[in-house]
Amino acid sequence: MDLVYLRAHPQHLPTFLTHQRIRETPVAGGDICDARRLTLDDGNSVFAKSWPESRATPVPDGFFAAEAAGLRWLRAAGAVPVPEVIAELPDLLALEWVEPGPPTPAAATRFGRELAALHRAGAPAFGAEWSGFIGALPQSNTPSSGPWPTWFAEHRLAPYLRLSVDNGALGPAEVALVERVMKNINGYGGAEPPARIHGDLWPGNLLWGADGRAWLVDPAAHGGHRETDLAQLALFGGAPELPLILDGYQEIWPLSDGWRERVPVHQLHLLLVHTALFGAGYRTAVSAAAGSALHG
């Protein structure tokens, strides 16, 4: 199997893998999926991710289709480099291989400019035309005309707060803080038309390539607020060269006044996803972000 054949017959990929006709090398792929580098007969490689057989639950319906739709939508903007979708199957996704490289100041500045261009490509509404996922969790993408604060509270905060309470990750004190943020959501300002955003842009979903560019991977893409992507880049230690990313961004599309004070509000979404998925280990981070939003 070569790349030309795979593009023309993606449905045959599982058969070739089952019969060990393709060389497979395990690679890092996150906490949700198994990931492999597949080396084809013509020397080309692709990145493949699949639902782990060890999981107790089957792959959710539309899980890989949602990621593929988001990748194609981000790629269509022609702004930030996004891997090509080579094969999209119900339990497997194969993407263009991106050779990793080191983060550099030049790549960071360029990425900031390109991210601004991606956001400016816009979206017809908040949400998206496909069902969404973030990590292994469903995410409401029902299109909405907004306004953004109401949409964000209803579709990006409330569902994951409920899940985090149900699994015992958050207690009454944290719930009260997040509910106060939601109650005051209209007071944070910064409402803008929907931007074309990655939606899960923590630093691990920014792939620094050997080509000297930063690539977007593993999106939860939708029409959202552009500040959400930038706030997520600052989570979990922050992206390399983050100040240069922000400088490059501001060159192309300056952020609205008060954006720094709104960072914790935008970070709450992904932090609540983490308490919903991984439990109380992220309780302190949720509490700190909600507290900063209320008192910042």
The CA–CA distances, whole Å, from 270 to 10, 166, 244, 254, 273 equal 33, 17, 23, 24, 5
Count of CB atoms situated within 10 Å of the CB of 185 = 20
So what's the pLDDT on residue 243?
Answer: 98
Domain extents in the chain: 3-96, 105-295
Residue 240, Ramachandran bin (φ over 0: left; ψ between -120 and 50: alpha; else beta): beta
Question: Using one digit for the tens of pLDDT, what is the confidence trace for 220-267?
Answer: 999 999 999 999 999 999 999 999 999 999 999 999 999 999 999 999
**Distance (Å, whole) CA 239 – CA 235:** 8
Active-site residue, selected from the candidate residues 91, 200, 229, 247: 200
Q: Which CATH number fits domain 3-96: 3.30.70.1230, 3.40.630.30, 3.30.200.20, 3.40.50.720?
A: 3.30.200.20
So what's the pLDDT on residue 178?
Answer: 98
Tell the CATH topology of 105-295.
Answer: Aminoglycoside 3'-phosphotransferase; Chain: A, domain 2 (3.90.1200)
Which pTM value belongs to this model? 0.95
Torsion angles phi and psi, residue 132, rounded to 5? -110, 160
Torsion angles phi and psi, residue 53, rounded to 5? -65, -25
Pick from 25-39, 122-136, 181-195 the range whose average pLDDT is largest.
122-136
Count of CB atoms situated within 10 Å of the CB of 286 = 25
Query: Token digits for 172?
Result: 């009454």
Contact partners, residue 15, CB within 8 Å, separation at least 6: none
Handedness of CA 94, 142, 115, 242 (dihedral sign): negative
Whether 87 and 94 have beta carbons less than 8 Å apart is answered as yes
* pLDDT at position 29 over 90: no
Identify whether 91 is a catalytic site residue.
no
